[in-house]
Every structure is written in C-alpha cells, then in structure tokens.
Amino acid sequence: MDLETLRLRLRAAGAGPTHERRILRLWSNALPMDSGKRRIEDFLPAGLRAELPAIEAELQGLARIASVHPGADGSERLLVALRDGQTVESVLLPREGLCISSQVGCAVGCRFCMTGRGGLERQLGSAEMVAQVATARARRPVKKVVFMGMGEPAHNLDAVLDAIALLGTAGGIGHKNLVFSTVGDPRVFERLPREHVKPALALSLHTTKPELREALLPRAPRMTPQALVEAADAYGRASGYPIQYQWTLLEGVNDGEDEIEGIVRLLSGRYGVLNMIPFNKVDGLDFRRPSWERAAGIARTLHQRGILTKLRQSAAQDVEGGCGQLRARSVIRMSV
C-alpha cells in the first residue's frame, strides 16, 4: 500500500484533513488510535469510525517483526515481514536512530554487498516504509530515520519522498534527522531541492577513481566521483545539512595512499563529513576488512590534511554483519 491509497481510503470513508492528519500521526508514532485529549470515537465521522478497525488492522499487517537480533553496541537488527511474506531489514541504532529499507533486494549490485547479490525483488510502498518506523517505535523511541537499509532509494524515488514527507510532518521527525542515502543519481539532485521536507543526504562514494567505482558499483548511474561530489555539495549548501560521504574501507582496494590523495583533492573545502566504515566480512565475497589500526591511521591522516573524517563500525556488526545478510540467512534457513 502506498500512502496516497491510504489517504484516498480515509477520505472515501469520510475523513477530512484534520481526521486524516490525526490518524497518520497516531499510526506513524505507534500511538493507540484512542489516545489524545479527544477520544477518536467522538472525533471521527460515523462512516470512518466504522471502517477504522479494519484500516488499523491493515496498517498493522503491513510490517511485523519476524525476529530481533540485539547487538553488543545497543543496536537491534530487526527482520521485518511484509504482508506478502517478503522480508526486509531495519536496524534500531543507538541514540534513537532507525535504519530502514526502501526495496526488497537492490538492483545496483555493489560487489561488497549481500543485498546487491540477489538483485531487485520488488519495490516497497511508501506505507511499508512508514510501517517500519511505526513497528520500531512500538519497541523504543525513534527520532532519526536513515534510508540506508536494503535498496537504493533513488530507484524508488516517489515512494521514498512520500514517506519522508509524512515522517517529516505527521511523523514528528526533524528534517535534518531524515537521511536519504544514495549511490548518487541525477534524479535525486533534481528532486530533493524542490521538496517541502528536505532530508539530509548521504552519498556512497567508496572511491575517488571513476573506473574503480564502475567496477565496485556496476549498475550505479555513470557519474564521476567529481560530478557526484559537486552535485551533493550544492545540495548540502542549499539545504544547510552537511553531506555525509560514505566510504566502505576494503583492504587493498580503496585504502591506499592514492585514494587518500584523491580524497584530499575531492573533498577539501566541501560542506560535509567523510564516514569511513571498515568492510564487514560477508561469506562468499573475497573482499577483506582492513585492521582497525590501518583504518584509524587513514582517518588520522585525512584529519591532519583538513578532511573531517569519522571512523565508524556499522551498527550491530556482531549480528550477521552488514546490510542484507540477516535476510539472506533467513531466506537460506527458510529454503532448506
């Protein structure tokens, strides 16, 4: 279900704009429909009251937690079952953050990603994205939502932007705490500046070399790292939210002196921060994780050269590693 279908359904049952806003606010915040000063039964028109239990049941059925996998860092990796039996991953992050998925699978095919190996299975509807937030909020508070789970948000752009628009209004999430994460796509750089709710932007860069990027991200749009950074930088300055440049560190692939020089050339003076995340081991992939000392040395050098760099572990990395592995394991488990 997408949010527009839900809105049409509410309107057909007699909802006015105020009823609609209130129902969407309660749902996306995981609050019971009868909460608030005015009881919903007194507030809604009779037709809508009669339909509400069915609508509520349908919304609750959009996403349910199939399994919970706590990490040592306070995060929780959630395997979320959708109505058609498909599954996606969400991750509850420390400090009230949530990472959600925008697609089942992904077509970009990044060589170091488990999700990319299986290709795209289907798009998520905008309501299924909001449902991941509502489901997570039923477990603990969520004040930041990052679209960094399974899928490439640029490949499901209208639905992702609809979900962001709702989360940034009725959903009560601050706009700078909504993070659109992409490998970079001209459509994203065109659309985001025109949106009413403008999210922060994370750009998966991974290398400064155009040919290596094409090899690592085979079906990402053919924009050079230079063009990507220029487009992202313009959006960062226009939105007021620094760009989060993402870099998965792969030993012997993108951790050399040449890349350090390339980063200094590319990111000096840019409005953003570089997040370096050492690769998580994935069974069946040949990439290696550099030692923490090596990664820390790179981050230190970049800092000394004037690039704001943060070295991070990916959340819940002790639990089935990176994006897509939990689902892959569950699919394997289900299929044996």
Q: Hey, which residues are catalytic here? A: 89, 323
Return the closest-CA partner of residue 274 out of 253, 295, 289.
295
Q: Does 80 bind ligand SF4 (CB under 6 A)?
A: no
The least distance separating ligand SF4 from the CB of residue 13, rounded to whole angstroms, comes to 37
CB 129 within 8 A of CB 176: no
Q: In this chain, which of 40, 59, 106, 299 binds ligand SF4, going by CB under 6 A? A: 106
Q: In this chain, which of 165, 167, 323, 328 binds ligand SF4, going by CB under 6 A? A: 323
The least distance separating ligand SF4 from the CB of residue 277, rounded to whole angstroms, comes to 11
Q: Does 185 bind ligand SF4 (CB under 6 A)?
A: no
In which residue are the tokens 């930088």 written? Answer: 233
Cα separation, 295 vs 300, in Å, equals: 9
Torsion angle of the four alpha carbons 162, 167, 175, 95, in this order, in degrees rounded to the nearest 10: -140
The least distance separating ligand SF4 from the CB of residue 247, rounded to whole angstroms, comes to 12
Q: Does 82 bind ligand SF4 (CB under 6 A)?
A: no
CB 43 within 8 A of CB 33: no
Q: In this chain, which of 63, 93, 150, 161 binds ligand SF4, going by CB under 6 A? A: 150
Where do the H-state alpha helices sit in 168-209? 186-191
Query: Which tokens hold the place of 46?
Result: 């009779």
Return the closest-CA partner of residue 286 out of 156, 63, 117.
117
Q: Does 152 bind ligand SF4 (CB under 6 A)?
A: yes
Backbone φ and ψ for 13, nearest 5 degrees, come out as -85, 5
The least distance separating ligand SF4 from the CB of residue 151, rounded to whole angstroms, comes to 6
Q: Does 255 bind ligand SF4 (CB under 6 A)?
A: no
Closer residue to ligand SF4 (CB): 150 or 315: 150
Q: Which residue is nearest to ligand SF4 (CB)?
A: 116
In which residue are the tokens 């998520």 written? Answer: 124
String marking each residue 267-306 x if it binds ligand SF4 according to CB under 6 A: ----------------------------------------
46 burial level (CB within 10 Å; 0-12, 13-18, 19+): exposed
Q: Does 216 bind ligand SF4 (CB under 6 A)?
A: no
Q: Does 113 bind ligand SF4 (CB under 6 A)?
A: yes
335 burial level (CB within 10 Å; 0-12, 13-18, 19+): exposed
The least distance separating ligand SF4 from the CB of residue 169, rounded to whole angstroms, comes to 27
Look at the alpha carbons of 5, 9, 136, 241 in this order and tell me if their dihedral is positive or negative. positive
Closer residue to ligand SF4 (CB): 150 or 299: 150
What is the binding site for ligand SF4 (CB under 6 A)? 106, 108-110, 113, 115-116, 150-152, 183, 323
